[in-house]
Amino acid sequence: MTSTRAPELATLLVSCPDRRGIVAALAQLLYGHGANILDSDQHTDPIEQQFFQRIRFDLSELITDRGTLERALAEVAERFQMNYRLLYAARPKRVALFVSKYEHCLYDLLLRHRAGELSCEIPVIVSNHPDLERAAREFGIPFVVVENTAATRAAAESREHALLKEHDVDVVVLARYMQVLSADFISRWEGRIINIHHSFLPAFVGGRPYHQAYERGVKLIGATAHYATAVLDEGPIIEQDVVRASHRDSVEDLVRKGRDLEKFVLARALRWHINDRVLIYGNKTVVFD
């Protein structure tokens, strides 16, 4: 219900063992504090007996205050053994882009951000090459070169980690960042690094997937956005898409077609992540789109 005050939106993401009464408990809790539910989506995994819910609500007519609401929520969460996150829209996510030499994903995200498609802040772009500095400058975003090779990885990642802290970053996007991250780095940012892989995973893991696709003679090529995990190309999948290919397509044609896929799939995955629509469980995702 549209209120006369400016809305103060928040999102609650919940997962817990499935049992009776969860939906009612949360609805009652929010209503009791004067929060108005705008949108709610829910899923139960019947095999894992796991419950998931996303609730978006308006706090502008709260009859208590946020602290009270948060304490009440903590109590309900304990009762139902919930993992939960409560996110206030007034504090948009802060996204760091990691890039190398390819500009297509970087421009795509920056243009979408400028067009208002991505409700986030982009405080910093990190690259292991200086090539894309000009693009960053054009959009007025700090661009930091951190050289990163097998030999210098530890120092480089330490520098990157410090940069992310300094810029208060919530999520890292590997926008065709052509450098493997250490298991340690990934575990520190677990569930907060989104990578774009240029194949329809689990087909063509590893390097040069377009070459692999060409060799195998597939009739569709794909791209996959997923959370990075220690095992390369094995993380929870957020989004995938494909486009038709044929015998007429050279590897270069596949690369060209793939660029469009990579842009789309990565942008969609990031959009869902920053809108708090993605829940990880096990090695899968629930996407409330």
The alpha carbon of 252 is separated from its chain's Cα centroid by a whole number of angstroms, namely 29
How big is the chain, counted in residues?
A: 289
Shortest CB 155 distance to a second copy, Å: 33
Which of 124/286 has CB closer to a second copy?
Answer: 286
Q: Is residue 140 at the binding interface for a second copy, with CB under 8 A as the rule? A: no
Phi and psi at residue 176, to the nearest 5°: 60, 50
Shortest CB 45 distance to a second copy, Å: 8
Beta bridge partners of 172: 96, 193
Contact string (CB under 8 A) for a second copy, positions 12-51, x = contact: ------xxxx-xxx-xx-xxx---xxxxxxxxxxxx-x-x
15-25 b/e with 16+ CB inside 10 Å = b?
bbeeeeebeee
Q: Is residue 223 at the binding interface for a second copy, with CB under 8 A as the rule? A: no
41, 45, 131, 233: the catalytic one is 233
DSSP string, 250-286: -HHHHHHHHHHHHHHHHHHHHHHHHTT-EEEETTEEE
Annotation says 233 is catalytic = yes
| Angle (nearest 5°) at CA 227 between 139 and 239 | 80
Active site amino acids: 233
Binding site for a second copy (CB under 8 A): 1-2, 18-21, 23-25, 27-28, 30-32, 36-47, 49, 51, 61, 103-104, 107, 111, 115, 117, 138, 200-204, 216-220, 222, 236-242, 246-248, 250, 256, 259-260, 264, 283-287, 289
